[in-house]
Amino acid sequence: MRQSRLGRGASLARLALRIGGRYAARSPRLIFASVERRGELRQELALRTAEDVVEELGSMKGALMKLGQMASYIDEDMPQTFRSAMRRLQHNAPPMTPELARSVVEAELGAPPERIFARWDPLPFAAASIGQVHKAITTEGRAVAVKVQYPGIARTIVSDVQNVALLRRVTSAAFPGLDTRSLIEELGERLREEVDYALEAENQTLFADYYEDHPVIHVPRVVGELSTPRVLTSELVAGSRFDEVLGWSQHERNLAAETINRFVSRSLYRLHAFNGDPHPGNYLFHGQGRVTFLDFGLTKHFSDEDLAPLIDAVRFLVVENDPERFRASLEHAGFLRAGAPVSTEAVVDRFGVFYSTVLRDEPVTLTPAYASAIVRRFFDARSPLAPYSDVPRAYVVLQRINLGLYALLGSLNATANWRRISEEFWPFLNGPPSTPIGEAEAAWEQSRQGRELSLDRSA
């Protein structure tokens, strides 16, 4: 039944190699992903009723698209049909008619959008997680992005993922080599989260609160009183898209990459949370390293126990140069089976690749080739370690982010002393600011702590 680890590792490697190209080409995204241009939204085929929505995305279709997306991360040999199904269906997922979107707003917020908002654009400007995004201006004059969920989709998707028997049959037909149980579990969890905009609002608010007044990182504020489980209203932000940034000067690209890298490190080590989708569409760029982070539909929270082995790994490999303890921390986390009959040297060789940008205290340039080499090395099925390594479930999202992130930073061709930047965040070092952005962050952090202290006192 189960595909050999070896085979799966090989598939992963091939898949990962293509991620870079896929991102660069801005190939069509799944319906659950964020951004699509207004002109591409096919208004002439717009969904007019809740029944239209269920026809398009209910009855397993939305669930299967999501499943395929997830499986594509782990099974490169997924039948071509399934692959093209996702591509084609995404391309054609139509928007709601203005009337249908309006009816959702009315049902959720208690009045039609023209009365709730001072101005309301009846046509969406982007596709979103099982919905679409409208521009509006609140009665206080704030420009906002209003994400409106397809009516009825939450109920049908939740019911679809509960039909585990059918999902098992479909997945074992589509992925004969794969153990699909954990995939189906993960699918259920992801989709239940994704249909709940209230959860997303909560996560976005967590990030927005934490990053308030940050010099280069911006997270749009949620407008709580205009948000519900099916409508998410947040501050509208204008900025340049990723593909525009590719035409900017290398200096600007370096700064943008540095900020993304800082966002990831800071969120993980300080906030213990990870915004899980490093897709180019989820960033807006404002120059001089200022970046807005969008879409918190996939946020993973880490416990101290989840994080401890990751921190140990970096510490023992990179800083303390203690391969045996590095190996022990990987075993502890479940990346490597304990007692595997392989040399510690081989373990360092294989798992060390993920740390290769931070091994030395010097500027390193991330190129697409470099990014894919890292991934290729990590997933090399010919490695003697392949039969003993795994990605434990707690880290699946992290893994996915890492792959996407390398591809993203690689396509920016970004150069920085990543080691010094990382040291700022490693909890066992708390290194000093190493760049101008780092200085600005440090100042921000100080004023932030000051604010918290004064809050504590007043409480």
Please give the residue ranges that form the binding site for another protein (CB under 8 A): 44-45, 51, 55, 58-61, 64-65, 77, 79-82, 84-86, 88-89, 92, 159-160, 163, 166, 169-170, 172-177
Which lies closer to another protein via its Cβ, residue 82 or residue 425?
Answer: 82
Least separation in angstroms between CB 129 and another protein: 19
Which lies closer to another protein via its Cβ, residue 91 or residue 115?
Answer: 91
What does the chain come to in residues?
459
How distant, in Å, are the alpha carbons of 51, 59, 133, 168 from that of 156? 11, 7, 21, 18
State the pairing for strand pair 217-218/290-293. Answer: parallel
Which lies closer to another protein via its Cβ, residue 151 or residue 276?
Answer: 151
d(CA 100, CA 97) in angstroms, rounded, equals: 5
Least separation in angstroms between CB 264 and another protein: 34
Question: Shortest CA distance to 300 belongs to which of 272, 334, 261, 278?
Answer: 272
The pair of structure tokens assigned to 21 is 């190209």
Distance from chain centroid for Cα 56: 25
Distance from chain centroid for Cα 458: 37
Cα-Cα-Cα-Cα dihedral sign, residues 379, 380, 383, 388: positive
- The values of phi and psi at residue 134, to 5°, are -110, 150
- The values of phi and psi at residue 132, to 5°, are -150, 165
Least separation in angstroms between CB 171 and another protein: 8
Least separation in angstroms between CB 249 and another protein: 42
Least separation in angstroms between CB 70 and another protein: 15
Which lies closer to another protein via its Cβ, residue 80 or residue 303?
Answer: 80
Least separation in angstroms between CB 89 and another protein: 7
Least separation in angstroms between CB 10 and another protein: 15
Which lies closer to another protein via its Cβ, residue 61 or residue 214?
Answer: 61
d(CA 242, CA 248) in angstroms, rounded, equals: 10
Least separation in angstroms between CB 173 and another protein: 4
Least separation in angstroms between CB 2 and another protein: 14
d(CA 13, CA 29) in angstroms, rounded, equals: 21
Least separation in angstroms between CB 75 and another protein: 10
Question: Shortest CA distance to 113 belongs to which of 260, 226, 229?
Answer: 226
Cβ atoms 333, 310 nearer than 8 A: yes
Which lies closer to another protein via its Cβ, residue 159 or residue 454?
Answer: 159
Which lies closer to another protein via its Cβ, residue 175 or residue 274?
Answer: 175
Cα-Cα-Cα-Cα dihedral sign, residues 231, 235, 240, 246: negative
- The values of phi and psi at residue 59, to 5°, are 45, 50
Which lies closer to another protein via its Cβ, residue 159 or residue 250?
Answer: 159
Which lies closer to another protein via its Cβ, residue 71 or residue 407?
Answer: 71
Which lies closer to another protein via its Cβ, residue 92 or residue 430?
Answer: 92
Distance from chain centroid for Cα 25: 18
d(CA 236, CA 221) in angstroms, rounded, equals: 9
Helix axes 181-194, 164-174, angle to 10 degrees: 120
Which lies closer to another protein via its Cβ, residue 3 or residue 233?
Answer: 3
Least separation in angstroms between CB 29 and another protein: 17
Distance from chain centroid for Cα 365: 23
d(CA 236, CA 218) in angstroms, rounded, equals: 12
Name, in order, each residue with C-beta under 8 angstroms of 200's C-beta and a sequence gap of 6 or more.
129, 193, 194, 232, 296, 297, 299
